Structure 1
């Protein structure tokens, strides 16, 4: 609910503070008094696109603040949460427009973009008038209106999910078909490459291992000669024999040396052990260096084959196993493509059937709801003195999408036998207002009272009993919610729960617009003025009292 509206230096308003109430709020005043400026200012703080020049002449900036009450389940809370803004029972919107055209907005003292304000406005306010292009008269929104009336959100959710599943299945099939076509184009290459790689069967690290073995075998002859000489020098004919003789001689002489050779004998024994270890290592190395020349030839042949295949495929030798696996996978996919494609086509058929079922259920619900809506609007048109008019919700085939495949358009025929046509083209101004009001009354129970509804001179072109019927419908619409009506009809004004008069004043050649809340005597004066014009007669006052008395 809109609780307060504060306007500073906007057009011909210098300072204005308004406090609104639940129920039917009416604003009256002479033409040009500034009623539309109030709506322009409210639209400005809500982020709506409107007039480019809003700042009052001579002011540095204009500012509008709107305060709304939000109950715990209000739809605006989700918008605030998604935008990362604080959420509380009170929502304060403030927007400033500088004289040079810059616009800045805040929500609960947090800087926000105009887009956030507009998203919030969709949950807070509905503006309706004879030239309504944001609500009921916009044909692109008729399907959403019917869905709201029908309560099709669960069916819509199923249809959206089915549409998404169908898109995913179709995308997967298309990708698989494209991949299969690409693989088929290189089938000969794949089969040859995989056969060549399978025959060679390279292993990770094999290139480095073969290269090491090759270099070792190539240098083995020279290395082996040196190692053989070293082995001979270490053996019994060399160091080992000499050390064994020395040890034997020292052990024989140690008894007469009174222990002075014990250390030397022990050291020489240790040296003999180390010498024996060295001899075994050298012998093992000599054995390892023994090779068949054909082994070198085979090693070089495989090494060159691996490197040649790596150059052919422009990869490193160690990357050949991974390449083999990848190419084998692609070839395997090609060989088993028929089964995969059959499975993907079956999945798509299943997804299409799911979407068809969901969309058909949604279409059925819309068709049934359209008949109910038409009957409901017809029952509302009779009290509005349009009992011979016909309102019809037409459903047509539309391109498939996430919200089904139905086109929805509201059409009317204002006279028996006259052709039906679009709501915003067939009806006259007064008729259009009544169609709009009847439709809104039918939708009010489904839409709830969260949104403040504003009707801008929706009663224009009607009077007398019809205007009274319009007023009573507006009052009924306001029960449990909040409705703001800008009106020139005394019958409508008299039915308001709260009444404000908009006036334009000129002081010192400066024109300003003011809004004054009216008590009962002031309401009588204002309604009498609306009935009589400039000169208020006793008869007009009596008529005003009668209207206020109901």
Structure 2
């Protein structure tokens, strides 16, 4: 739901900020005051191409900012998360239009493309009026609305699942078909696997090989180091460390009676003597294991060289050779069954296509029934909205069924005949903006609760009507406001009186320039505005009385 709309230096608006709530909000004002500028602002925030002419004269850029609550727009929230624009349930759209024709856009404070802005706005707001960006004019939106109206979630899921299964099997067959000469590939894999199997490729074996090679490469130095350390500990070439330590303890022992703290020192020296003895034993074991073995060193060196050659050949580290061999074996196994798998795939693909046709037929029957119901309901509403003799039809156009389509076997086209005796034409070709708005309203009311977009904007939906029909239009908009947020630009008091909130757009000349301002009306101001809409420039007592009567039955 739209919470706030802020506009700066946009057309004749210097600066305006509007707060919106649930239900129906109406916007009125004198001709030329700029009522539809608020709709235009939402249009540019929905990704319309930048128009330098919309920048207020004398300003360098126009700024547009809208805040939405996505609690009632799960599809928009999911899109924000997928695109990594999410910031909780809040959603802000911002766009600047420069006087030189350029523009920039942001979503939740992060730079965004116009395509991203358009995708997100399409999930948040739907504009009905005399503009090309209406979602209902697009065939994809028409089909989605029909499916939502008919409650076809289960049938659609079956069609999409069958189409996805068919596509996956087609890709698998294409992959196997592109493999080429399977026998030649298997022979090559056999050679690679045999070459790798001649070596012990376990990571722990390679680590042990490297350690053994390093030890033999440094055997002479290790032996000399061990011999020197053992000589120092045992005293072969002079006094040993152990003997020196015992003499040191003996010299201190004679004085321990005079200094009790020497007991602690003696204990530490005793522990050191034990550790020196253990170190001598460990050194002796290491020395006994050491041997200068040139033949063994050459063997290890050759093995290590072969491993490095294999690693370079397969462009992996030596420790990853085992995984590469396993991958070769897995590919070999799959290729051994490739012929049989290709034959099996043909049967599976045919079965998947038949499953899709069955699911698509069920969806098509459900769509036909829903199209009939929606056509009848919308046609009845069109008559109520002052288009007597008009007719609405949902035409289902079958598609070629050579490839399973995840959207089913047909597309929907909304057709309209605005007057009796005229053949129905596609909704997008309806010439009159007022007729288009009323037809869109009729469709939305007929499909009440089916459209997932939470905010609907109707621009001059009441163009060319009046009297009782205007009252009905207002009733339909208010009814729609019970389940959706509705914003309506209107010039009819019968429609404006039924809004839950009312904004007035007014204009004034300052310094030779026209400036528009927007004001939220209280009860008294609202009555005066309705009286102006009823009576014109001179507001009479009768007009005020009529305004009070209009408001009496509709003020929330």
TM-score (norm 1): 0.68
Cα distance in 2 for residues equivalent to 1:105 and 1:70 = 19
- Contact 2:68 2:92 (8 Å CA) reproduced: yes
Of 472, 475, 478, which residue of structure 2 is paired with 1:475? 478
Residue 535 (structure 1) aligns with: 538
Judged with a 3 Å threshold, the aligned counterparts in structure 2 of structure 1 residues 9 and 412 are, in CA distance, closer, same or farther, namely closer
Instruction: Give the C-alpha shift of residue 516 in structure 1.
Output: 1.5
Judged with a 3 Å threshold, the aligned counterparts in structure 2 of structure 1 residues 428 and 61 are, in CA distance, closer, same or farther, namely closer
Cα distance in 2 for residues equivalent to 1:76 and 1:415 = 38
Residue 435 (structure 1) aligns with: 439
Cα distance in 2 for residues equivalent to 1:82 and 1:473 = 36
Instruction: Give the C-alpha shift of residue 131 in structure 1.
Output: 4.1
Cα distance in 2 for residues equivalent to 1:488 and 1:4 = 23
Residue 498 (structure 1) aligns with: 501
Cα distance in 2 for residues equivalent to 1:432 and 1:73 = 26
Residue 551 (structure 2) aligns with: 548
1:246-304 per-residue CA deviation (whole Å, 9 max, x = no partner) reads xxxxxxxxxxxxxxxxxxxxxxxxxxxxxxxxxxxxxxxxxxxxxxxxxxxxxxxxxxx
Secondary structure at 1:71's aligned position in 2?
A: helix
Residue 27 (structure 2) aligns with: 27
Secondary structure at 2:64's aligned position in 1?
A: strand
Residue 445 (structure 1) aligns with: 449
- Contact 1:457 1:485 (8 Å CA) reproduced: yes
Instruction: Give the C-alpha shift of residue 174 in structure 1.
Output: 4.4
Judged with a 3 Å threshold, the aligned counterparts in structure 2 of structure 1 residues 6 and 339 are, in CA distance, closer, same or farther, namely closer
1:447-495 per-residue CA deviation (whole Å, 9 max, x = no partner) reads 36x6111101011111111111111100111114321101112211121
Cα distance in 1 for residues equivalent to 2:98 and 2:130 = 31
Judged with a 3 Å threshold, the aligned counterparts in structure 2 of structure 1 residues 424 and 123 are, in CA distance, closer, same or farther, namely closer
Residue 405 (structure 2) aligns with: 401
Larger Rg: 1 or 2? Answer: 1
Cα distance in 2 for residues equivalent to 1:176 and 1:145 = 40
Q: 5 Å matches for 1:195-274? A: 204=195
Secondary structure at 1:479's aligned position in 2?
A: coil
Q: 5 Å matches for 1:139-158? A: 139-158=139-158
Cα distance in 2 for residues equivalent to 1:338 and 1:64 = 62
1:344-376 per-residue CA deviation (whole Å, 9 max, x = no partner) reads 211111111121122122212211211221232
Judged with a 3 Å threshold, the aligned counterparts in structure 2 of structure 1 residues 378 and 340 are, in CA distance, closer, same or farther, namely same
1:356-400 per-residue CA deviation (whole Å, 9 max, x = no partner) reads 122122212211211221232234334324454322211121245
Cα distance in 2 for residues equivalent to 1:157 and 1:468 = 41
Residue 308 (structure 2) aligns with: none
The total of aligned residue pairs comes to: 422
- Contact 1:132 1:138 (8 Å CA) reproduced: no
Secondary structure at 1:444's aligned position in 2?
A: coil
Residue 345 (structure 2) aligns with: 344
Instruction: Give the C-alpha shift of residue 439 in structure 1.
Output: 0.5
Cα distance in 2 for residues equivalent to 1:404 and 1:144 = 12
Judged with a 3 Å threshold, the aligned counterparts in structure 2 of structure 1 residues 57 and 382 are, in CA distance, closer, same or farther, namely closer
Structure 2, unpaired ranges of 5+:
197-324
Cα distance in 2 for residues equivalent to 1:46 and 1:462 = 29
Backbone CA RMSD of aligned residues: 3.7
Judged with a 3 Å threshold, the aligned counterparts in structure 2 of structure 1 residues 203 and 464 are, in CA distance, closer, same or farther, namely closer
Q: 5 Å matches for 1:21-420? A: 21-71=21-71, 74-177=74-177, 183=181, 204=195, 339-386=340-387, 388-399=389-400, 400-420=404-424
Residue 508 (structure 1) aligns with: 511
Judged with a 3 Å threshold, the aligned counterparts in structure 2 of structure 1 residues 111 and 423 are, in CA distance, closer, same or farther, namely closer
1:487-522 per-residue CA deviation (whole Å, 9 max, x = no partner) reads 112211121121111112111112211112222332
- Contact 1:159 1:358 (8 Å CA) reproduced: yes
Cα distance in 2 for residues equivalent to 1:45 and 1:432 = 22
Say if 2:527 is the partner of 1:524.
yes
- Contact 2:76 2:120 (8 Å CA) reproduced: yes
TM-score (norm 2): 0.67
Judged with a 3 Å threshold, the aligned counterparts in structure 2 of structure 1 residues 340 and 516 are, in CA distance, closer, same or farther, namely closer
- Contact 2:149 2:370 (8 Å CA) reproduced: yes
Instruction: Give the C-alpha shift of residue 428 in structure 1.
Output: 4.8
- Contact 2:155 2:363 (8 Å CA) reproduced: yes
Cα distance in 2 for residues equivalent to 1:390 and 1:462 = 18
Instruction: Give the C-alpha shift of residue 144 in structure 1.
Output: 1.8
Judged with a 3 Å threshold, the aligned counterparts in structure 2 of structure 1 residues 78 and 174 are, in CA distance, closer, same or farther, namely closer
